[in-house]
Amino acid sequence: MRKAVYPGSFDPLTLGHLDIIRRAAKNFDELIVSVVRNPSKNPLFSIEERVAIIKNATKDLPNVSVDHFEGLLTHYVESVGASIIVKGLRAITDFEYEFQMALMNRKLNEEIDTMFLMTRNKYSYLSSSMVKEVYRLGGDVSCLVTEYVLSKLSEKIIQVDNS
């Protein structure tokens, strides 16, 4: 059974992430998309909201489940009985950081490998932070996120603006 974990902040999920999920799901028996709880970051969406967004976007993919974790990724991957970490790689700028993380994770657990999927060209510039900034400043992000994310963004940004 080839079980993989696709970890990330997903704050929020973009079409770039979703493309990686769909492509990775074809290559593994089971794919767990897992949202990291990082106490040092101040995300726009709570863990529960991010999990709900990803569940909504992947409901047609029977071998994909959605979870969250805190602490070391390798400990989490071990705990769910997976042996592969899936990562999306955008431009060359991603490479150094991802390379470093992959080597560190391998050092922490020799049994766990990282597999990279190159992003599709059309999503190579896309990031969650950019989506949030463009949306906040009134730009159109409808071709970069799902409709569900778009509706959640509008609720969230209105809440943030009112606070």
Catalytic residues: 17, 41, 90, 128
Which one of 27, 48, 72, 79 is in contact with ligand PNS (CB under 6 A)?
A: 72
Helix (H, G, I), strand (E, B) or coil at 68: strand
Which one of 58, 105, 119, 146 is in contact with ligand PNS (CB under 6 A)?
A: 105
Decide: is 101 part of the binding site for ligand PNS (CB under 6 A): yes
Decide: is 33 part of the binding site for ligand PNS (CB under 6 A): no
Residue 142 CB: number of other CB atoms within 10 A?
Answer: 11
Task: Return the residue nearest ligand PNS (CB atom).
Answer: 8
Annotate 72-109 with b (16+ C-beta within 10 A) or e (fewer): ebbebbeeeebebbbbbebeeebeeebeeebeebeeeb
| Nearer residue to ligand PNS within complex by CB, 40 or 163 | 40
Q: State the Cα–Cα distance between residues 143 and 155, nearest whole angstrom.
A: 18
Binding residues (CB under 6 A) for ligand PNS: these are: 7-9, 36, 72-73, 101, 104-105
